[in-house]
Amino acid sequence: MNFGGTIRINRFGLLIIACLLIILVYYNISSSSSSEQPQKVNLRQLLLAALEAAEKGGHEVVKGSHEPSAGAESKGETKEGVNIPVTKADYNSHCVMFYGIAKTFPFLKVISEEGENEKGCKNLTPLELNSNVPNLPDEEVLASDVAIWIDPLDATKEYTERLFEYVTTMVCVSYQGKPIIGVIHKPFGSEPKTTWAWLNQAMSKNLQSINDNTGITSKNVLVSMSHAGKAHDLIEPIFGKDAKLVPAAGSGYKTLEVTAGNATAYIHASYISKWDICAGDAILTATGNDLKMSNSKIVEIPSYQSYILEIKILGGFMVLEIPAHEMMSRSNNNLLTRSIFAKNLSEFRLFTNH
């Protein structure tokens, strides 16, 4: 038996194998590299989702008002001892708004006032994102920098009292902690109305006609119907004796009243939730106003985690703890000028997804 034969190597075969190996290595590197690309999200699509979610939530709110079982339960009390009600309509609106957005953008953080889990929700349908808003730009940002804040039913107490004019649903998109898209939907009335703004890009038609000076000559000062806190004590020192105190409800409603010029200020002198002010911040800023505060103070409350702020809202401004001498020196009724308080609310990056 002869074991001394020679082995001939097929060079063409080796070339084929080498090429296949190179292709395989390149494919693996490309796949790894693409999988490491950070997730991005389209802000135009987020605006469309926010509009659709707010309107779908509003539909659930209106539908709930016709049901005999629309009564409220209590989920606690405010610092002042005022009951915090929640209704079936709150949960139904939460279901369509929260899960509509969460299922459309599963990689985004969505924060809602209510906490109904998916098992308690029925007939969930994805958002369609049909655009009836022309000429919106496409803009992509890192998804990790975005958070969605929703209030499925603002002014629940007034809803149970059938004071429907104060009721709204709200959606806010924050980017790097700053509100940039705000949607406030009023589901009741002869025709439901949605007010929205995308900072530096677009806004609803009713906002486009608002003058920068709107509201400065108004004597109306809005204060909460249910938890005014110490707001009454702030009226005369800041706005003078001619100011008219007007009780109203719902952060969304009061923000729109100030934006439209029906009131010169909205004072809130107690705790408030971030989902109550996020959409209004974006809308006020887009229309030339600023939500401002002299300091930020996040109050840790177990049931709400870090989503509560102790602040005061003054029309286009948000203020924390105004010293007495400061109030007395600002009685010239120029509270809507931009130089009164030091920092814009958005600079505090309070609306992050963490």
Residue of higher predicted confidence among 284 and 226: 284
**Higher per-residue confidence, 9 vs 246:** 246
- The single-letter DSSP state of residue 79 is T
CA 174 to chain centre: 7
- The Cα 264–Cα 333 span in angstroms is 10
Fold of 220-348: D-Maltodextrin-Binding Protein; domain 2 (3.40.190)
| Mean pLDDT (whole number) for 309-330 | 36
pLDDT digits (tens, 9 = 90+) for 6-38: 556 667 777 788 888 888 877 777 655 555 689
Question: Which residues of 155-297 form beta strands (DSSP E)?
Answer: 168-175, 178-186, 193-198, 202-203, 220-224, 244-248, 265-267, 270-273, 292-293
Residues 325, 321: Cα–Cα separation, whole Å: 12
**By CB neighbour count within 10 A (0-12 exposed, 13-18 middle, 19+ buried), where does 304 fall?**
middle
Query: Considering the domain 40-205, what is its CATH architecture?
Result: 2-Layer Sandwich (3.30)
Amino acid of residue 123: N
Which tokens is 72 given? Answer: 């409220």
Per residue in 317-327, pLDDT (tens digit) is 443 332 233 32
- Which range, 113-127, 202-216, 227-241, 281-295, has the best average confidence (pLDDT)? 113-127
pLDDT at 1 (0 to 100): 53
Write the CA distances from 143 to 50, 158, 218, 307, integer angstroms. 16, 36, 41, 21
Q: What is the pLDDT of residue 231?
A: 61
Query: Quick one: pLDDT at residue 30?
Result: 61
DSSP string for residues in 122-177: -S---------S-SPPP-EEEGGGEEEEEEEEE-HHHHHTT-GGG-EEEEEEEETT
**16-25, 59-68, 149-158, 311-320: segment of lowest average pLDDT:** 311-320
Residue ranges per domain, the chain? Answer: 40-205, 220-348
Residue the block writes with tokens 């992050």 = 352
Please indicate whether residue 67 or residue 199 has the higher confidence score (pLDDT): 199
Question: Tokens 């949607």 identify what position?
Answer: 183
Binding residues for Mg(2+): 113, 151, 153-154, 276
Specify the pairing of strand 168-175 against strand 178-186.
Answer: antiparallel
Most confident residue range from 2-6, 203-207, 293-297, 338-342 = 203-207
Of the two residues 347 and 161, the one the predictor is more confident about is 161
CA distance 119 to 102: 15
Closest CA to 50 of 125, 155, 152: 152
Radius of gyration (C-alpha) of the chain in whole angstroms: 26
Work out the pLDDT band at 141, boundaries 50, 70, 90: very high
Cα–Cα dist 352/78, whole Å: 24
Binding site residue list: 113, 151, 153-154, 276
The set of residues, in sequence order, having a beta carbon less than 8 Å from that of 257 and lying 6+ positions away, is 220, 222, 248, 263, 266
State the DSSP H helix or E strand holding residue 207, giving kind and residue range, or none if neither.
helix 205-208
pTM of the model: 0.74
Most confident of 3-12, 183-192, 327-336: 183-192
